[in-house]
Amino acid sequence: MLMIDTHMMNDTREICQELQDTYAQLTNLLVFVTNHEGQLITAPSNIDDASVFDKYGSELQNMFKTEIDKLQGIRHTILSDQWVPGVKWLIAPVSVDQSDTGMYVWGGILIQQGTLQSIITHPNYLQPESGAPADFIELMRSWIQNTGEISPDQEIFKREKITKFAKALSLILKSSFKENRLTQRLNALNETLITEQGVGNPIEEITRAVLASSDLADVFGFALKTAPGKYTIMNSMGMNSGTLGGSIFHEGEGFLGQAVLSAQPSRWRDISRDPRNHFFQQKGLDSVYEVQCFPIRYENEVYGLLFGLSFKERSTPSINPQFEETMISLMGWYIGNHITYEKMEKQLQRFKPLIELSRMIISVQDIQRVMFMLVDMSLNLVWNPSASIVVHRSSEDGKIQMVARGMQSPKGETYAKDIARRYLDNSDKPGASSFINSSTPFSLMLEYPIVYADRTRAVLCVAVSNEQEGEECREILSALAMMGSVVMKSVHDRQQYLSNSNRFAHILHEAIREWNVAHYQLTADAQKIVQEFAMWGGIIKEEAEVIGRACLMSCTDPSMLRSFPHLFQQEAEMIEDYKHIQDDQSILGTGSYSKGGQIMALAFAIATAGDHDMRVVNDLQINGVDQGLVSQFRLFVLSRHTLQTEINLVEEKAPATKTLTAEGAEGRGLDAIVKQFGLSPREKEVLELVVKASSNKEIAATLFISEHTVKNHLTNIFNKMGVTDRAQAIAAVFNKSIG
Amino acid sequence: MVAESDVITLQMECTLFFENNPYAIETSSGLSKRLGRSQQVTEQALNRLAEMSILEKNGQGMRAIYRYKAPYIQTEVDLNAYD
């Protein structure tokens, strides 16, 4: 029952009172207005002494209430003489909603022509046992006696006027009621929006609050897109709506699924026999009459749906339905806007760190390090990190490299092979776009081909929790994969550059053989010494590569070398310095020449001495070469001499090793040693590098560990193998390989 | 209140630090001094990396130490040996 009287504002009450008094005067009737509880809403009209109504308020209210209870359901003005037989009252209902009567207009007294005498002479005429207070009975008596009899025409006139007054009252109250409810609604909305600002994750709370205070429907729901074409009801409120939460529907499926395809709000009425109603019936909502849907959109993208369910027809909604529909449509737009903002915010939060990362990653010159970074950084960038893998094919020998986190063998390897088969085998058609793969042993995987040098050479694959997250992460991961492409291309170009440099250097070197075999051999020896110096730890590997090439091309005119675009610039400078050192006898130990030139001078000095290098080195002193470098080289030659001696001893003990390659040793001897002595995978890697004559420093650099850790590994390896030094360990591996 | 982008940036910096120093063992306090960041945010970033299994965390609170967990590496997966 609507308590419309509570919405009667003061100014409205005054207008109603004025109208009531006017109609009372026009009809010459006593007129009251009560609510459905029998309480007087306005002051009685046409009554001289109304104090009795104040004095006996509750008793009179009971009288009216008793009468109202008998009149439940009346829609038109009626005549009643329940209180005193023959003394009639017009009773007109006042309704705001057709289904609910909120107030009643009472108009009296009407006494038909020729009946007054029989009324007042009736034995039960206004007896005290009627329940009414004595003062009121006395008042009634005076009203009846002062009321004249009326003709049927007069009765019809009075009935029409009282009916019109009730209708006018109804219109005024409807307007007032709507205005009042609208004010309340706006206040509630305002309060909700102010209160919810700043609360964590407010969007669902605001939606809940806004929908809960709407009377457009009995049940409201809030569904979000959780995957392309798939929606999940996140929130529901209203009678028996709890079962809706968590329900899933798809685009085009049922009322809700059809609504998300529409750009406009949708409405279906009288759906009880519609098969699409089955979705709600399954959730225990058996008697849905009407469905109203408001898509949550922003620009061209649908993010979800707000919907309302009504269980009965609302013939005259109490609040302007257009306002409510507009309000909820705006709410949908607001949510869509909010979701877009959140999505962009998430991406922006990651783009800034990604740009920072690009500054650091660009200097990496090792493919495996790039793979490490791609795997770890991808996990930093996705919303819900769980697994990532990078598969890389570096050569044409059917072997691939993989670096993975969150996935282990053998599933990881199986997936890596699948990736290689789909992306890396098809070398003619580099695929550049990402792909969401749902048929993996893991969760959904976002796969990004990494293309450089006209081929797909690697693939970055990152697990995402659902397709929606995949869509949202796609761009940021694409940027990371693109960055990986650039860095891998840089490493690839550098390798190509080195490969080309080495190839040209060897061609020039071979050319020397034609006219000077002795110098050909000398330059080859000098290059070998430089490489050994690097392995010993005197210089880094990359530096040794350049100096080694300079040694090979030392007979070539530096100006001719400079004519190669982007090649041999450093080598030409070194050769020039080396030649100046050779020619210049005036400068001693100043080190003003390039380090490469100085090392060349030292390497050629040792190479020229041949087997007598130990004797040479003791007197080693070259003009223009830094004394510190000379001392370092002296130590190197000393250790080189010792190492060669050790190797010779081993060779004497096991001559067959001369024919073995390091790869052969790794293939058979190493595996056998690992198996026999129970070496860990890390120890195996260390031993493998020891067999390849890597120094501790080089092993540390290759495996990304400290030299101290290398020494620890070596100690453990020696203990397990029962050997005392690396030479014995190498010998054991070689022995195993021929055993 | 630290911006989310700053926390993610720090996560990445911490990741790079441990990738470059894979055998380093650090506390949030030690690493915050190295990186010149507040200890609170560094701890937040380190804990996220531990949740991602990029780092291994031992201990709790200020005494927790973090070290890099090497990813799973296979350098020679034979493509010809299809499953």
pLDDT digits (tens, 9 = 90+) for A610-632: 765 666 666 666 777 888 888 88
**pLDDT tens, position by position, A555-568:** 888 888 888 777 78
Winning range, highest mean pLDDT, from A187-191, A323-327, A341-345, B21-25: B21-25
Report CB contact under 8 Å: B16, A360: yes
Report CB contact under 8 Å: A398, B52: no
Which CATH number is correct for A654-738, 3.40.50.12780, 3.40.50.2300, 3.30.70.20, 1.10.10.10?
3.40.50.2300
Q: What is the CA radius of gyration of chain B?
A: 15
Residue A1 pLDDT class (50, 70, 90 cuts): very low
Q: For position A660, what pLDDT does the model report?
A: 38
- How far apart, in whole angstroms, are the C-alpha atoms of residue A120 and residue A112? 13
Domain assignment present for B27 = yes
Question: Which has the higher per-residue pLDDT, A108 or B11?
Answer: B11
Domain assignment present for B14 = yes
Q: For position A645, what pLDDT does the model report?
A: 47
Of A352, A380, A401, the CB nearest to B74: A401
Q: For position A256, what pLDDT does the model report?
A: 93
Q: For position B15, what pLDDT does the model report?
A: 93
Mean pLDDT of A594-615: 81
- Tell which CATH architecture fits domain A202-342: 2-Layer Sandwich (3.30)
Would the pLDDT of A196 be above 60? no
Residue A100 pLDDT class (50, 70, 90 cuts): low
Does B36 contact A at CB distance below 8 Å?
no
Q: How many domains does chain B have?
A: 1
Question: What burial class does residue A7 get, using C-beta atoms within 10 Å of its C-beta: 0-12 exposed, 13-18 middle, 19+ buried?
Answer: buried
Q: For position B65, what pLDDT does the model report?
A: 93
Report CB contact under 8 Å: A398, B82: no
> Testing the interface with B: which of A342, A352, A376 to mutate, by most B Cβ within 10 A?
A376
Does A344 contact B at CB distance below 8 Å?
no
Structure token pair of residue B1: 């209140």
Name the residue with tokens 């949708």: A266
Going along A100-181, which residue ranges are E strands?
Answer: 100-110
Would the pLDDT of A470 be above 70? yes
Residues in A touching B72 (Cβ below 8 Å): 402-405, 407-409, 412
**pLDDT tens, position by position, B39-80:** 999 999 999 999 999 999 998 888 899 999 989 888 777 766
Structure token pair of residue A118: 């029989």
Residues in A touching B23 (Cβ below 8 Å): 705-706, 709
Domain assignment present for B31 = yes
Q: For position A459, what pLDDT does the model report?
A: 92
The residue in chain B having the minimum alpha-carbon distance to the alpha carbon of residue A412 is: B72
Report CB contact under 8 Å: B76, A401: yes
- What residues have CB less than 8 Å from A73, skipping those under 6 apart? none
Report CB contact under 8 Å: A385, B52: yes
| ipTM here | 0.92
**pLDDT tens, position by position, A378-409:** 999 988 888 899 999 877 666 788 899 988 77
Mean pLDDT of A217-236: 86
Mean pLDDT of A176-203: 70
- How far apart, in whole angstroms, are the C-alpha atoms of residue A414 and residue A440? 10
Mean pLDDT of A188-215: 69
> Testing the interface with A: which of B77, B78, B80, B83 to mutate, by most A Cβ within 10 A?
B77
Mean pLDDT of A701-728: 81
Does A419 contact B at CB distance below 8 Å?
no
Structure token pair of residue A508: 């020039």
Q: For A97, left (φ over 0), alpha (ψ -120 to 50), or beta?
A: beta
Would the pLDDT of A684 be above 60? yes
| A392 touches A517 (CB < 8 A) | no
Question: Which has the higher per-residue pLDDT, A234 or A728?
Answer: A234
Chains A & B: contacts with CB separation below 8 Å: 103
Question: Which has the higher per-residue pLDDT, A432 or A659?
Answer: A432
By residue range, what is the domain housing residue B11? 4-68
The residue in chain A having the minimum alpha-carbon distance to the alpha carbon of residue B78 is: A399
Report CB contact under 8 Å: B79, A706: no
Provide CATH code, domain A4-179. 3.30.450
The domain limits of chain A are 4-179, 202-342, 362-495, 516-652, 654-738
- How far apart, in whole angstroms, are the C-alpha atoms of residue A371 and residue A362? 13
Q: For position A663, what pLDDT does the model report?
A: 45
The domain that holds B14 is classified in CATH as 1.10.10.10
**pLDDT tens, position by position, A103-150:** 889 998 888 888 888 877 777 776 655 566 777 777 777 888 788 888
Domain assignment present for B77 = no
**pLDDT tens, position by position, A291-313:** 999 988 877 788 888 898 988 77
The pair phi, psi for residue A183, each rounded to 5°, is -60, -45
Residues in B touching A376 (Cβ below 8 Å): 15, 19, 54, 71
The pair phi, psi for residue A459, each rounded to 5°, is -140, 130
Comparing A4-179 with A654-738, is the CATH topology the same?
A: no
Would the pLDDT of A64 be above 90? no
Long-range CB contacts (within 8 A, 24+) of A696-699: A696/A537, A697/A537, A698/A535, A698/A537, A698/A541
For A400-422, give one letter per residue: b (16+ CB within 10 A) or e: bbbbbbbbeeeebbbbbbbbbeb
- How far apart, in whole angstroms, are the C-alpha atoms of residue A244 and residue A232? 10
Pairing of strands A78-84, A87-97: antiparallel
Residue A650 pLDDT class (50, 70, 90 cuts): very low
Domain assignment present for B75 = no
At the fourth CATH level, which superfamily is domain A362-495?
GAF domain (3.30.450.40)
> Testing the interface with B: which of A379, A426, A462, A670 to mutate, by most B Cβ within 10 A?
A379
| A536 touches A639 (CB < 8 A) | yes
Mean pLDDT of A469-489: 88
Mean pLDDT of A225-251: 85
- How far apart, in whole angstroms, are the C-alpha atoms of residue A554 and residue A579? 9
